[in-house]
Amino acid sequence: MGRCYFVEEAVGQYLSEFSTKSKACVTGLLIGQCSSQRDYVILASRTPPREEQNENNKNYHPKLADIDEEWVTTHASQLSRMLPGGLLVLGVFIVGAPELAKDIQNALCKLVFSVEKSVAKKRLWNFTDEEVSDRVALHVCSATKKILCRTYDMNDPKSSAKPADWKYQSGLSASWLSLECTINVNIHIPLSATSVNTELEKNTRNGLTQWAKQIEEGVFLINGQIKEDDTELLEGQKKSSRGNIQPRTQTFDVKVLTQLVSIVCGKCQ
């Protein structure tokens, strides 16, 4: 059985607004949250045209053969850095004509792996074995608006496409809980004055990776309390007569406690 994506209705409206010429297409990214049980898509974002394309034609749509893979992955990297915790780039979409269906599937397969590779390259930590490695590739027919949803396993570059369900739902994220956390970053990374740019970048990333590891190994206080991994955040709260938690926006304050670790340059030891 394939994965099931629950999608905010506004995403469907957004995708249905794109109309293309016979050989043209629209590419973009799908943003949301995934878990072992359910996947959620709450936002779709079209790949913006390059500056020179935007100046020449505001309604510019590239032909399928002219999709700029590098530009799509750049968009994914920039967007990924802007997302709050808990959300990530779940995959890609292409809006195109039905006669291009086969070629679009090939393009989607190539794009979804390229996007994940680009996003993962900038990530300071690795996903655990328990986390979902599937990413979604969505084809929206520009004529009929019919959806074809498939997934690929990012851990297997040779994986074949698997069918997935795509279900719209209103107010999808309305009941989500919000966790707010502020972290002051003050990192000292020793660098040699004679280092070339490649060494500077490598040393800086190593320092940031050590800092990210401190965060992963830290202790998290949620509203001043330590919660077990399998504890529900709403545990102990009043329920309505129907057995549901009374609906209201709730925000939890999160504090991170980490050990103080000095970062030492290998050449200085």
Rounded-to-integer distance, Cα 27 and Cα 108, Å: 9
Rounded-to-integer distance, Cα 157 and Cα 177, Å: 35
Rounded-to-integer distance, Cα 162 and Cα 137, Å: 10
Region of 243 please: left (phi>0), alpha (psi -120 to 50) or beta. left
Q: Under 8 Å CB-to-CB from 171, ≥6 apart: which residues? A: none
Tell me 103's DSSP state: H
Whether 246 shows a pLDDT value over 60: the answer reads no
Q: Under 8 Å CB-to-CB from 235, ≥6 apart: which residues? A: none
What is the Rg, in whole angstroms, of the alpha carbon atoms belonging to the chain? 22
Strands 88-96 and 39-46: unpaired
Condensed to tens digits (0 to 9), the pLDDT of residues 170-223 reads 988 887 888 899 888 888 877 777 766 667 778 888 888 888 888 888 899 999
Q: What is the pLDDT of residue 39?
A: 93
Rounded-to-integer distance, Cα 101 and Cα 26, Å: 13
Q: Which helix (H) or strand (E) segment is 257 a member of?
A: strand 251-257
Backbone angles phi, psi at 223, to 5 degrees: 55, 40
Its pTM stands at 0.81
Q: Under 8 Å CB-to-CB from 69, ≥6 apart: which residues? A: 110, 111, 114
CB 38 within 8 A of CB 4: yes
178: helix, strand or coil: strand
Condensed to tens digits (0 to 9), the pLDDT of residues 92-118 reads 999 998 889 999 999 999 999 999 999
Q: Under 8 Å CB-to-CB from 53, ≥6 apart: which residues? A: 60
**Helix 101-122 vs helix 69-82: angle between axes, to the nearest 10 degrees?**
50
Q: Which domains can be identified in the chain, with CATH numbers? A: 4-169 (3.40.140.10), 178-268 (no CATH)
Most trustworthy range by pLDDT among 130-134, 166-170, 193-197: 166-170
Condensed to tens digits (0 to 9), the pLDDT of residues 23-57 reads 789 999 999 998 887 899 999 999 998 876 554 55
Arithmetic mean of pLDDT over the chain: 84
